[in-house]
Structure 1
Amino acid sequence: METKFSLFNQINSLCYWLLACSDYRTSVFLDAETDTYGVCITHNGLELYTKTISGFSKRKAEFLEQELDRMVAGLLHLKQNVQQKSA
Structure 2
Amino acid sequence: MDKNLALFTQINSLSYWLLQESNFKSSVSLDATDDSFFISIKDGLESIYKHHIEDFSKKDQRFLRIELSSIVSHLLQIKRSVKSHKHAS
Specify the SS of the correspondent of 2:34: coil
TM-score with structure 2 length normalisation? 0.95
2:17 paired residue number: 17
1:32 maps to a residue whose letter is: A
1:83 paired residue number: 83
Specify the SS of the correspondent of 1:29: strand
1:10 CA displacement: 0.4
Specify the SS of the correspondent of 2:62: helix
For the pair 1:73 / 2:82, whether they are aligned, the reply is no
2:45 paired residue number: 45
Measure the CA separation in 1 of the matches of 2:45 and 2:11: 21
Superposition misfits of 4+ residues, deviation over 2 angstroms? none
Measure the CA separation in 2 of the matches of 1:12 and 1:62: 20
1:32 CA displacement: 1.4
1:47 CA displacement: 0.3
Range with greater deviation from structure 2 (58-67 or 28-37): 28-37
Unaligned runs of 5+ in 2: none
Unaligned runs of 5+ in 1: none
Question: Could you report, residue by residue, the CA deviation over 1:50-83 in whole angstroms, capped at 9, with x for unpaired residues?
Answer: 0010010000100000000000000001000000
Measure the CA separation in 2 of the matches of 1:47 and 1:66: 23
1:2 CA displacement: 1.1
- Root-mean-square deviation (CA, aligned residues, Å) is 0.6
> Percent identity of the aligned residues?
39
For the pair 1:8 / 2:14, whether they are aligned, the reply is no
Measure the CA separation in 1 of the matches of 2:32 and 2:72: 22
Measure the CA separation in 1 of the matches of 2:29 and 2:44: 20
Specify the SS of the correspondent of 1:34: coil
1:33 CA displacement: 1.7
